[in-house]
Amino acid sequence: MDVETTWRMIGLLSLTAAACLAAGLLSMLIAARRRRQLARPDWPRMLADPDYFRQQLVKIFRARGYTVLRWWAFNDPIERQPREVVMALQRGGQVYAALCGRWVIPITSEVVTRFENALATTQASAGILLTTSHFSEAALDRARGLPVELHDGEHLQRWIDEIWA
């Protein structure tokens, strides 16, 4: 074998090794990204970080069979940061409007009434009111008979437990 052929063989082996190394690194990066995407939501971070809260809600709703059509974040007028996310969802041909809030105080009947009124202005056939806190008894009473599902922080934790069991 002459010197030129030897160098070509070394070059081909180097390219093959580099390609294998690149493929291995790409595979590791894809696996790491997938683990991050499938990682169980961090509850304290959901409460503290509005973007993380929205991202996790999208994952949770998708895992529960909803398609997230659109979302909007609304700033709290006092804290000047997003505290609420409104989502347009679809599942089984039905459109839902979801109001999801990072709240720490109980949700009152007034919030349910405002949501019901807002729901009437949308093309949604039902609504989802989701909070990281809980609902007052008056809010639970007010929602009875309405096309509105109420999900509190405990319920949200159960969804997370079911999805990431």
Distance between CA atoms of residues 143 and 112, nearest Å:
7
Residue 77 has pLDDT above 70, yes or no: no
pLDDT tens by residue, 25-76: 776 665 555 545 568 999 999 999 989 999 999 999 999 999 999 988 877 6
pLDDT tens by residue, 111-155: 999 999 989 888 899 999 999 999 999 999 999 999 999 999 999
Global pTM exceeds 0.85: no
Q: Which residues contact 106 (CB under 8 A, 6 or more apart)?
A: 133, 134, 135, 136, 139
Distance between CA atoms of residues 165 and 162, nearest Å:
5
